[in-house]
Structure 1
Amino acid sequence: MTRHDLDALRRVVSDACRVLAGRGLADGILGHISLRIDGRTLLVRCRGARERGLLYTEPDDIRLVDLDGAAAVPGELDGWDVPNELPLHTEVLRARPDVACVVHAHPPAVVAADLAGLAIRPVVGAFDIPGTRLAARGVPVYPRGVLVRDRRLAAEMTAALGDRDAVVLRGHGLTCTGASVPEAVLRAVSVDTIARISLDVVKSGGTLIDLPETDMRELPDLGGSFHHDTAWRHELARLG
């Protein structure tokens, strides 16, 4: 991979961090995104001396490290610190060859819904087709409100995730996966949206009911160019 290619991917990850913050899923300085480069290295958002939070992420904040958190090339981490929860990313990447991107965020609605006993369920339909399918597959819960800062805890979280697209971390946040950066981030947005809707329904005195199987079968696949490419351009445009 050329330096130009790597710099372009740094931009993709930094834009994605800003999307998370712009959507309110990673307020302040907490949260990070990683992208697999090859079997031993990944790009990940790190904290530098000018740290201002995810909304202000720049490509230079995205550093190339190995699976143990060491600089992948000399000087790569000079002035930057890897996330405390880097093992959260690397353990998923070790266990899931189908995953290229890992998103870790702290959406308040997702945390609140889980603490209220509300699972992420397919309660919507055409409102968000990819989100409905994600919810129908199941979004498990890692039941420990800990900082996932070592491989032991990360292995627990990864086991809870299993082969699913996302896992809720009780009292903590959310981890989403994807075959690309946009896919992982858009999945996080969908989980957050369903959590918000679920909370609103319950607060209004309503009852959450899963979409009937007959309706699930009617939901079309509108294709990646619509669900991912167009949706991602929208997310980037929202940043202004």
Structure 2
Amino acid sequence: MNEKDIEGARVVVAEACRVAAARGLMEGILGHISFRVSHDLLLIRCRSADDTGVAYTRPSDIRLVRFDGTAGAPGELDNGYQVPKELPVHVESMRASPDIRAVAHLHPPSIVAADLAGISLRPIYGAYDIPGAVLARGGVPVYRRAVLIHRTQLGKEMVTAMGDRPVVICRGHGITSVASSVQQSVLQAASLEELARMSLAVVSAGGTLVDIDDADWEDLPDLGANFNTGAVWRHEVARAATV
């Protein structure tokens, strides 16, 4: 990527952080989103000495770093900027596949609560959120250690638990969502959080969680990237600006 592209990507990652915060997928100063620039460089939200939280992320908070946590260019870690301790979440996810360019490590409360309650996230609804239903149909794995993933070995363990799925629940912690784009990594997390919220509501009301009928999948079409990502992302960005 050239310098202009990197600056544009900073804006997108910062925007994604604000969207995730507005959606309640991460609170306060916890959580981070990254975007791969090259084989050993990524842009990632870093915390500065005057950090005011993910909801107020600025493009200048998105810093270029190497996979080993050092500055990716002169000045990138000046002015008190610190790389997240959980950098291995991002690095090991990206090392697992060249198709993974974006990683969102978030703390969605309903997902954490549902997992702790022993509720597996399954496709209990259809047209209410087709991408979310498809995501759940493939299964949502769980990394069962409630640890800070601050070491390479822990990052590798998490990636192993994730397998070939795009999202993994980190028990008692949060989730990691991977995708080819920053927008998709956040939207996957938002869909899964809504599914968890709905599952908890059904169980709390005394209901039973039942997967939709197999025959219904024929009439749950893929509405395409222009709708599922483009239109939805425009809404999320506009919504975040008003929260």
Structure 2: 5+ residue stretches without partners: none
Q: Deviations over 1:41-97 (max 9, x none)?
A: 100000011111100100000001111111111221112100010001100000122
Structure 1 stretches of at least 4 aligned residues deviating more than 6 Å after TM superposition: none
**Partner SS state of residue 129, structure 2:** helix
**Partner SS state of residue 175, structure 2:** strand
Residue 212 of structure 1 and its aligned partner are, at CA, apart by: 1.3
Letter in 2 for 1:110: I
- Alpha-carbon RMSD across the aligned residues, in angstroms, is 0.8
Residue 2 of structure 1 and its aligned partner are, at CA, apart by: 2.7
**Partner SS state of residue 80, structure 1:** coil
Q: Deviations over 1:75-130 (max 9, x none)?
A: 21112100010001100000122211000111111110000000111111011111
Residue 217 of structure 1 and its aligned partner are, at CA, apart by: 2.4
**Partner SS state of residue 17, structure 1:** helix
Q: State whether structure 2 residue 25 is matched by structure 1 residue 58.
A: no
1:151 corresponds to: 152
Task: Return the alpha-carbon distance in structure 2 between the equivalents of residues 201 and 2 of structure 1.
Answer: 49
Letter in 2 for 1:62: I
Query: What is the 5 A alignment of 1:35-50?
Result: 35-50=35-50
Task: Return the alpha-carbon distance in structure 2 between the equivalents of residues 97 and 39 of structure 1.
Answer: 8
Task: Return the alpha-carbon distance in structure 1 between the equivalents of residues 10 and 151 of structure 2.
Answer: 25
Task: Return the alpha-carbon distance in structure 2 between the equivalents of residues 212 and 52 of structure 1.
Answer: 46
Percent identity of equivalent pairs: 54
Letter in 2 for 1:65: V
Task: Return the alpha-carbon distance in structure 1 between the equivalents of residues 236 and 89 of structure 2.
Answer: 25
Residue 213 of structure 1 and its aligned partner are, at CA, apart by: 1.1
Task: Return the alpha-carbon distance in structure 2 between the equivalents of residues 87 and 77 of structure 1.
Answer: 18
Letter in 1 for 2:137: A
**Partner SS state of residue 128, structure 2:** helix
2:225 corresponds to: 224
Task: Return the alpha-carbon distance in structure 2 between the equivalents of residues 116 and 96 of structure 1.
Answer: 32
Q: State whether structure 2 residue 209 is matched by structure 1 residue 213.
A: no
2:112 corresponds to: 111
2:240 corresponds to: 239
Residue 3 of structure 1 and its aligned partner are, at CA, apart by: 2.0
Task: Return the alpha-carbon distance in structure 1 between the equivalents of residues 166 and 121 of structure 2.
Answer: 12
Letter in 1 for 2:50: R
Query: What is the 5 A alignment of 1:18-167?
Result: 18-78=18-78, 79-167=80-168
**Partner SS state of residue 33, structure 2:** strand
Structure 1: 5+ residue stretches without partners: none
Task: Return the alpha-carbon distance in structure 2 between the equivalents of residues 59 and 233 of structure 1.
Answer: 18
Task: Return the alpha-carbon distance in structure 1 between the equivalents of residues 18 and 147 of structure 2.
Answer: 25
**Partner SS state of residue 119, structure 1:** coil
Task: Return the alpha-carbon distance in structure 1 between the equivalents of residues 89 and 2 of structure 2.
Answer: 27
Letter in 1 for 2:9: L
Q: TM-score, normalised by structure 1?
A: 0.98
Q: TM-score, normalised by structure 2?
A: 0.97
Letter in 1 for 2:95: R
Task: Return the alpha-carbon distance in structure 2 between the equivalents of residues 210 and 100 of structure 1.
Answer: 31
